Structure 1
Amino acid sequence: MIKPLLFSFLLITLLFVNCQKKINDLEFEKKVMTEIFPDLIDSICIDYRVVLNPPPIYGLLTYDEKGNRISVDSTMSIEEQKQRMAKWKHNQEVIEKDTSRLIVAFNPKIKRNSKDLKEYLKQHFKVKEVFCPKIKGDSAYTIDFKNIPLKGRFQLKNISEFPKDRREFWRKKYDFIFSGAVYFTGIQFDKERKFGVLDGGFSCGRHCGIGVRIYIKKVNDKWMIDKIDNISVS
């Protein structure tokens, strides 16, 4: 009877260790994501009113032989352009002084990146080995974003509270200032888990947004953003 009992004990212990490994790997990444989250939101999210309201043309345009604009002489502006510029500056001042919360849609379920970013991680941080978590099954986890204090005027709302139809999502008139939608993928770490890389993006309309690659690092036991590269623009 001793051997079967010993075998059962070892089997249970092994399963427990594997379970702990799964929890530890996911919890570690979740902890890092939670810590870096306010900086991610502050760096990626933008006020759509500024993006969709570029300054008007001010001055005399000069074109080359192919019809490409090569310069603008602002000293040659006409009265109509001056009026449009004055109106644009006024609108910008109103936006800058506005202290209203900017609502951003966010899916709190963070999924593993469909792309393997290990080469980007190695190249950027000059690391030799990448950390490979031993996780079987679903590697997604949920961020408790409502309990994470953010830095600026942005406030997140679960994307499940918005219309599922893409057209209605952007066309609906909300009773708050809707600035767009943000997302992030899971983090890929180096072997020592001192450096990481993830993808993210912000959309301010059906055909308006950016995709980014974010490099993070651990400095004095704190995670911080090292660099953000634009990888797509629409």
Structure 2
Amino acid sequence: MKAILIKLLLFPALAIIVSCNSKPSYAELENEVFQDIFPALVDSVCIDRRISWAIFDYYPGMESDSAKLAQSHKSLDIKIRRIKQDTANLVIAIADTLEAFDDYDAVKKEFEKRNLMPDTISPEKIKFDVAPYQGKTQYKFRYLSTFPDRYSIWGTNYDFNFAGVFSFSHIMFDTTKTFAVMEAGYMEGDLVGAGGVVFLEKRKGKWYIVEVINTWVS
């Protein structure tokens, strides 16, 4: 009887210990963030490179005839609308793995500006699973490793509309796990692209993108 009583008394304590040790892992936290923000992140950073080239081709140079200029601008608007509607087979190449920050010190300073303490970040290269996000944006995702190398990727003819290359880092959390930062970049050509730092906040149980600061352009 005494032994049974001891077990009953110990059981609640053991339950509390298990509960305290059941905090989500870093990978689980990171996955939670991506589930909330990944489609919005793609829409914030990526652009169909056909639109960029259409704008580049439109550049009127020294054209001074206002009527011709207006007609050219109208033609550009029509072309861009058609491109935006043509999303049936629009593909983005996604970097296969999540990597550490390129500029850890700069990101750390952003935490300090907000009087927050950065937590640890995974140094490992982890395979990013694109499957859960297929069909959530206008783009389809394929791993970068399935494309030609960087010197051939832009000049290859594909049986789909190749929009560009999207890459991003691991997520760095603060110690409260309600604020986070990551890096993201997008390339539309061999030397054409931009990227920056993405700031995230957790509000009422869900993660949101609160700011994107461009830090590089090529």
In structure 1, the residue matched to 2:29 is 28
Does residue 122 (structure 1) correspond to residue 112 (structure 2)? The answer is yes
The Cα of 1:167 is off from its aligned counterpart by: 1.8
Which letter does structure 2 place at the counterpart of 1:120? Answer: E
Match of 1:103 among 91, 108, 111: 91
Task: Give the secondary-structure state (helix, strand or coil) at the position aligned to 2:183.
Answer: strand
Count of equivalent residues: 195
Per-residue displacement from partner, 1:91-116 (whole Å, max 9, x unpaired)? 22322332323200012311121321
Give yes or no for contact 1:59–1:78 (8 Å, CA) kept in 2: no
Give the equivalent residue in structure 2 for 1:158: 143
Note if 1:112 corresponds to 2:115: no
* Alignment map for 1:25-174 (pairs within 5 Å): 25-54=26-55, 55-57=58-60, 77=65, 80-116=68-104, 117-123=107-113, 126-132=114-120, 139-164=124-149, 166-174=150-158
Q: 1:163 to 1:59 in 2, by over 3 A?
A: closer
Please state whether the residue corresponding to 1:202 is helix, strand or coil.
strand
* Alpha-carbon shift at residue 78 of structure 1 (Å): 5.2
Contact map agreement 2:111 2:117 (CA 8 A) in 1:
no
SS at match of 2:78: helix
2:154 and 2:190 in contact (8 A); partners too = yes
Identity %: 25
Distance 1:77 1:25, change over 3 A: same
Distance 1:172 1:84 in 2: 29
Over 3 Å counting, the alpha-carbon distance change for 1:97 and 1:43 in structure 2 is same
Report the Cα offset of residue 222 of structure 1: 0.3
> For the Cα contact (< 8 Å) 2:96–2:128, is it kept in 1?
yes
Q: CA deviation at 1:26?
A: 3.0
Tell me the equivalent position of 2:172.
188
Name structure 1 gaps, 5 residues minimum: 1-19, 61-75
AA of the residue aligned to 1:131? D
Q: Is the 8 A contact 1:56 1:84 kept in 2?
A: no
Q: CA deviation at 1:211?
A: 1.0
Distance 1:218 1:161, change over 3 A: same
Tell me what 2:183 maps to.
199
Q: TM-score, normalised by structure 2?
A: 0.78
- How far has the Cα of 1:59 moved from its partner? 7.8
Gaps of 5+ in 2: 1-20
How far does the alpha carbon of each residue in 1:167-189 deviate from its partner, in whole angstroms, 9 at most, with x for none? Answer: 21110000000000000011111
> SS in structure 2 opposite 1:91?
helix
State whether residues 58 and 82 of structure 1, in contact with CA within 8 Å, keep that contact through their aligned partners in structure 2: no
Query: How many Å apart are 1:82 and its aligned residue?
Result: 4.9
